[in-house]
Amino acid sequence: MVIFGASGDLTHRLLFPALYNLCRTGLIPQPLAIVGVDIVGQSVDDWRQSLRKMLESFVNNPNSENSIDAVDEGVWQRLTTRMTYVQGDFSDRGLFEKLRLHLHDVARDCQTAGNCLFYLAVADRFFGPLVEQLGHAGLLDEELRDGVPQRWRRVVIEKPFGHSIDSARELNTRIRRDLREEQIFRIDHFLGKETVQNILVLRFANGIFEPLWDRDHIDHVQITAAETVGVETRGRFYERTGALRDMVPNHLFQLLAMIGMEPPNSFNADAVRAKKTELLQAIHPISPENAVRGQYGSGTVLGRPVPGYRQEPNVAPDSGTETYVALKLGIDNWRWAGVPFYLRTGKHLTARTTEIAVQFRRAPYALFRETPVERLPPNILTLRIQPDEGLSVSFNAKRPGSEIEIDGVAMDFSYREYFGPLAAVGYETLIYDCLIGDAILFQRADTVEAAWCAVQRVIDYWAREPAKEFPNYAAGSAGPDAAAQLLARDGRAWSPIRAEHPHKALRP
């Protein structure tokens, strides 16, 4: 495994802890050699010590989802024994010749059979040039026999994969000059979360859900990804990106695809990804009238006063960059025609939570016309992606007593309460799948382009028509008023943004 950007935050905070967890659970294929590549000049011992320091920060850390009891020395030794480090400038062809010779020695000494996974944990401007340099050095060549790689080479590319439909197409064209599609793993860390992976199991392995999963039974769907953090030190990146580009074509649309896709004929990677792509291609072009943008001003988040976006480091004092976006979209196919999907994401909101709420159509009221019941609470299936992973189903029940009084109740399932806590940073499954060559959780070129096509009209409109009312929501609130009005005009309302679910799991 060759990690470009070895000294960076992504490697220290997510990739290496994920590798440690995989090694601890026995899922790392042996032998595994880890080669760090970066412009930072340091010895392999220095690199190893910096990784160890980050790993130790997870020990008994109540604020970390990856909290561990202690660093297991046996696991640490197995993981780091075959670590090496190569220093050089990514634009220097000499670096890649040096890397080619180094990997030849690694294959011989560690018996890796020449298989290489190149992980691009770098800024997106390096994606194309790095692939070209690897290709020029012959580092992406595979040995094929009857079309099957005998020695494989794979490349993992982080987001953002492009900043528009044109740039995404250009990047796809550029990297596919040196790579086959089967060698490309476009990663989205949201898909590493247990609840996201469970969506397919929930839908297709349970006879009680799929028969109801259509326009005849579902009123609408809400997808929320709310954060309490602000932009913090990422001002320079966020100024050229914004909430829509940062979150919608990747994270939120991947959740949308999981919820809305047709059943594949197998769990083969291409079968699943083809159905996701079909779903994204069926999104009706989003009208600017159905898109809300917001930017946070100063406020109070989790009891702490915070500045507005325009006061953050490396942010223009008159910035028009959105930190919040809400969308209403429709899907033009037989399953979902007429069912609205509402998506929202934002910084410095009330609570940190990612969830999908599927609201079913209301039952007829005629049966209860002689009772005090005026309005039956809706039935909602809520899938909680983070931080309290699980799902709940709300339904109506009669209150005890002589009168017919109906109240909404819920059944709840919590991963943590049912299966116990699991130390994970969300990259474990994704890295493991890269190592074994399973691309089911990774985006294909046509999937990426379909997602950008769906939002390009809004991107173009916002570029032509800068926002005039920013900032338009206080930090610590649920977002701008216009987002609530987006649903109110349809007679609907957003589910409350809350970090913890109020119901406890019902366990056998």
- Under 8 Å between Cβ of 22 and 34: no
Give CA separation, 262 vs 181, 196, 273, 428, in Å: 23, 16, 11, 27
* Ramachandran category for residue 242: left, alpha or beta (phi over 0 → left; psi -120 to 50 → alpha): left
The C-alpha angle 209, 210, 215, rounded to 5 degrees, equals 105
From the list 12, 189, 251, 501, the catalytic residue is 251
DSSP 238-254: HHTTHHHHHHIIIIIHH
| Residue for token pair 């994270």 | 251
Number of other residues whose CB lies within 10 A of the CB of residue 217: 13
CA distance 189 to 225: 14
- In 253-340, which ranges are E strands? 291-294, 296-297, 299-301, 304-306, 324-329
Tell me whether strands 143-145 and 148-151 are parallel, antiparallel or unpaired.
antiparallel
Q: Is 348 a catalytic residue?
A: no
Q: Could you identify the residue written with the tokens 């999907």?
A: 341
CB-CB contact of 497 with 349 (8 Å): yes
Q: Are 308 and 458 in contact (CB under 8 A)?
A: no
Known catalytic residues are 251
